[in-house]
Structure 1
């Protein structure tokens, strides 16, 4: 027996089957071409364009990387086997475990670390220091998880009041670079969510009934939410040991978008 429930507070009982039907909604336009940078039997590295969301969420349910296989552009590393997935996860975990260990010098850490990811980013303001190491924990204080980002200034533009930086991360916390750079007072240029200090400007995850769009989806929130794009962050280089042989060192590079190139790099391409 199929019963149509119109009361949102109706109580379901054992044996009842709930089927949810929603109208398809028109998702915002998003790029969809994925360039393969590296592939073997164990893993594949893709060059994800900016504006293409990796996992379904918010306004994007179909136009995602997951839907093709299934904010950030650049290298996206995916495991093709469970063994490779386990090894790659261990590589990141090992790098994170070294953070805060004063007995390890940078040289020792570099030798022991089996995966390293380097980003390009454009930030607000002029960074005075040429190199900065940020160790601010990520997450709710005081239980934040260890995180470390190495920032190096590549080019300063005093006229536009912005700085081009390279960021090497030794941990992979969600939104780590965005949080760390805003923590030191230089949020990513165009970041709609994180403000100076590393805290979200606002978080609007609830939708009232009247916020439904005519096509069945949600109207775009008036305030920024975690899935919003618009900032300049690009996963540029990835260096790692092979997840199964553990011997071959692989270096993968995703070409830089014009806005994240130094003047010298731009001139070389002309």
Structure 2
């Protein structure tokens, strides 16, 4: 492995790309082939059973009766129509206006194999829920379709190899070839090689992972210790509006490790600036771990002390439905809600092709700069 370190220069005027979002997206098509076990079900039975998390019964009735579903290419508006094994069902979700989201993406590093972006808070990485078009992935697709060449030997359109929460800003790594995608995904899942960052003599960082992720966060309260190691497991619980369950601190969950270093204590505002290095990548790990020790992220609408959500008093699901037949947006906070202050600040990793150690830094938002850092500007 090469011992050289590449540290890209990152400035506020680094190149950016992005196109404004259209008012409405293109809608979506969901295709199913009826299995033998579902043969003889009625159309409403099929959808209300297979996709009960998408819409309540009355919502699916509305979608069928409005002509949004076809069987083998023919529009069917009768809910009691019987489906047969092998038939193709297509549900057309009508175009809608997605919630507001930023669209410009700053390029922090780019070569023939990968591109590192500075993702703004409020922009989702991959399609999901109400955000099907207003995502990082869409902007990458539009960039490629506009014939902005990534590489003469490009095998794959650039795509993210990990996720950042919608409210989290900072470094997002994307692969531009199949080989890079496979390697980088493996780095995020688990790394075994040693990386020594000789350029940072203050810490002389050594890790057994092929990738090191360092975040900056602003938390409620004053953390007394200078350093805190959090190894609380993270699991899931049932939660309204989150089909696969909400991630929380749980003794029966999967192992998770976060290393927290206090950078500055603001006694007057009762806030603490921290740096967090995570050696695992559980969903919402930093938000959960810091709230677990009694210091949730400032402005986090979801997680409170103990690594639990603010509201977990009921499994009630609002059965009223929106204009498109789907569930109303949950009244309680959900993981995609923004407001907290978390930034993927530094990334150190072994290049998937050259083996060179790459070190990338994303500029800090003003609110996440310590007083000393702000005075240096």
Kindly indicate whether residue 250 of structure 2 is the aligned counterpart of residue 179 of structure 1.
Answer: no
TM-score (norm 2): 0.63
Larger mean CA deviation between 111-120 and 197-206 belongs to: 197-206
Residue in 2 aligned with 1:212? 322
Unmatched segments (≥5 aa) in structure 2: 1-71, 142-166, 195-202, 237-249
Alpha-carbon separation, structure 2, partners of 1:254 and 1:4: 52
Q: Structure 1 residues 11 and 195 mapped into 2: Cα distance closer, same or farther (>3 Å)?
A: farther
Q: Which of these residues, 78, 91, 104, is aligned with residue 174 of structure 2? A: 78
Kindly indicate whether residue 371 of structure 2 is the aligned counterpart of residue 267 of structure 1.
Answer: no
Q: Which of these residues, 1, 10, 13, is aligned with residue 84 of structure 2? A: 13
Residue in 2 aligned with 1:244? 353
TM-score (norm 1): 0.86
Residue in 1 aligned with 2:364? 256
Alpha-carbon separation, structure 2, partners of 1:161 and 1:188: 12
> Is residue 151–residue 167 contact of structure 1 (8 Å, CA) maintained in 2?
yes
How many residues align? The count is 257
Alpha-carbon separation, structure 2, partners of 1:179 and 1:93: 19
Kindly indicate whether residue 217 of structure 2 is the aligned counterpart of residue 121 of structure 1.
Answer: yes
> Is residue 59–residue 220 contact of structure 1 (8 Å, CA) maintained in 2?
no
Q: Displacement, 1:84? A: 1.5
Q: Displacement, 1:266? A: 0.8
Residue in 1 aligned with 2:235? 139
> Is residue 96–residue 170 contact of structure 1 (8 Å, CA) maintained in 2?
no
Residue in 2 aligned with 1:221? 330
Alpha-carbon separation, structure 2, partners of 1:15 and 1:112: 50
> Is residue 235–residue 254 contact of structure 2 (8 Å, CA) maintained in 1?
yes
Alpha-carbon separation, structure 1, partners of 2:353 and 2:94: 45
Please tell me whether Structure 1 or Structure 2 has the larger radius of gyration of its CA atoms: 2
Q: Which of these residues, 301, 309, 313, is aligned with residue 200 of structure 1? A: 309
Q: Structure 1 residues 186 and 6 mapped into 2: Cα distance closer, same or farther (>3 Å)?
A: farther
Larger mean CA deviation between 41-50 and 14-23 belongs to: 14-23
Q: RMSD of the TM alignment (CA)?
A: 2.6
Residue in 2 aligned with 1:101? none
SS of the equivalent of 2:93 reads coil
User: Whose strand proportion is higher, 1 or 2?
Assistant: 2
Q: Structure 1 residues 205 and 258 mapped into 2: Cα distance closer, same or farther (>3 Å)?
A: farther
Unmatched segments (≥5 aa) in structure 1: 99-106
Larger mean CA deviation between 84-93 and 197-206 belongs to: 197-206
